[in-house]
A = this chain, B = another copy of it.
Amino acid sequence: MTQSIIDVSCRFLAQNDKICLVCHASPDGDTVGGAFGLFYALKSLGKSVYVESFDGFPEKFRYLYPDNMEKFEPKHYVTVDVADVGLLGDCQKNLSFSLCIDHHEKNSIDARYKCVDSGAAATCEIIYSIVKHLGVKISRQIANCLYTGISTDTGCFRFSNTTPQTHKIAAELIESGAKSCEINFRLFEQKTKARLKLESLILKNLEYYFGDRCAIVFVTRDMVRQAGASETDFDEIASIARSPIDVLIGISAREVENCQYKVSVRSNQGASALNVCKFFGGGGHKMAAGFKISGDIETIKEKILQKVYEEIIH
């Protein structure tokens, strides 16, 4: 990202007051961490600022936000980690945005200033640059916020978006007091009882094909009921089918309506999940793609396996 975008964004933030920071729907660690990281930084500069999330703030991130935030009529709205207005609440969609801070490759927010860098692993990496450029010392609170966003969006430094810069920022955040060990425990190890039951059922029902090079599981509504799982329990669940050692293509088909399935395909070692999904009218990335399909389990399974066979035996 060019330094000038950071310059412009910081000049705007430094020269203005009464700012409302806006998070996206189903708030994750990057939007919540980024918004509150910037919130504490602007507070330390004596500004009036609050964070708005029409979807609320998850209890999981309770350690990031204050008990109370004083609200006021904002003069400026700043989006944090929001790629599109479709990710905002109805009463937020028509707001006029002064600044948009984001790292998504496609960002369609209409804002006066746009501070978007798709090379950043997390929006929190960009907020880190802004906070430093504003001359604010990274407090322990800010460090916890930014570390949370970075660890969330990189899967704890596992994903391919992790760069040397990501690690350098992490080093400084830990030096500034980020409780990395506790944060990662909350983000990646702690799970609800329902999630754990769901994982148990998924692992039990995983079927292997083509000499273990393909694993497939159908997550029926009955299984979800049995586990007592809710929407938030499905986070990254599709990766389970790719985890067996010889699997090139892992498939999770989740029943969303009666006999309607949302299929997530994950691949490994050069196999293309995208090729499989394109055939069924879906899309995504090479190693993570998806599509929707209707029918009975056996027919769907046969169709998918036929396509997987063509992809891995070529």
B189 near A196 with CB under 8 A, answer: no
Which single residue of chain B is at the shortest CB-CB distance from A239? B189
Q: Which residue of B lies closest to A190 (CB)?
A: B245
* Copies of the polypeptide in the assembly: 2
Instruction: Determine if A208 is an interface residue (Cβ-Cβ < 8 Å).
Output: yes
- Across the interface, do B204 and A185 meet the contact criterion of CB distance under 8 Å? no
CB-contact partner of A164 in B163, B172, B206, B242, under 8 A: B172
The complex places the Cα of A245 from the Cα of B190 at a distance, in Å, of 5
Contact across chains for A158 and B174 when beta carbons are under 8 A apart: no
**B158 close to A191 (CB less than 8 A):** no
Q: Are A212 and B193 in contact (CB under 8 A)?
A: yes
User: Known: A193-B245, A243-B191. Contact between A184 and B158, CB under 8 A?
Assistant: yes
A234 within 8 A of B: no
- Quote the shortest CB–CB distance from A59 to chain B (angstroms): 9
Q: Is the C-beta of A306 less than 8 angstroms from some C-beta in chain B?
A: no
10 inter-chain pairs at a CB distance below 8 angstroms, sorted by A residue, are A159-B181, A163-B174, A167-B168, A168-B171, A189-B243, A191-B245, A193-B212, A196-B203, A196-B206, A200-B203
Contact partner, A181, options B162, B165, B191, Cβ 8 Å = B162
Specify the chain B residue showing the minimal Cβ separation from A187. Answer: B158
Given A167-B168, A203-B196, A203-B197 in contact, is the A191-B244 Cβ separation under 8 Å? yes
Most buried by B among A196, A199, A239: A196
**Is the CB of A210 closer than 8 A to any CB of chain B?**
no
**Chain A binding surface SS class:** helix
A169 to chain B, nearest CB (A): 8
Nearest CB of chain B from residue A177's CB, rounded to whole Å: 11
A180 interfacial contact with B, CB 8 Å: yes
Q: Which B residues are CB-close (under 8 A) to A172? A: 164
The reply to whether the CB of A41 lies closer than 8 angstroms to some CB of chain B is no
Q: Judging by beta carbons under 8 Å apart, are A184 and B157 in contact? A: yes
Residue of B nearest to A193 (CB): B244
Q: Chain B's nearest CB lies how many Å from the CB of A261?
A: 22
Q: Contacts of A258 on B, CB cut-off 8 Å?
A: none
A235-267 vs B, Cβ < 8 Å mask (1 yes, 0 no): 000010011110000000000000000000000
In angstroms, Cα B189 to Cα A268, docked, is: 11
When distances are taken between beta carbons in the complex, the residues of chain B under 8 Å from A185 are 158, 268
How would residues 82 to 116 of chain A score, 1 for a CB under 8 Å from any chain B CB and 0 otherwise?
00000000000000000000000000000000000
Beyond the given pairs A158-B180, A164-B172, 9 more chain A to chain B contacts, judged by CB atoms under 8 angstroms and listed by A's residue number, are A157-B184, A162-B180, A164-B174, A167-B170, A167-B174, A168-B168, A190-B243, A192-B245, A199-B200
Say whether A296 faces chain B, with CB atoms less than 8 Å apart: no
Flag whether A160 is at the interface (Cβ < 8 A).
Answer: yes
Interface string of A142-181 (1 = CB under 8 A from B): 0000000000000011111011111110111011000011
A188 within 8 A of B: yes
Chain B residues with CB under 8 Å of A167's CB are 167-168, 170-171, 174
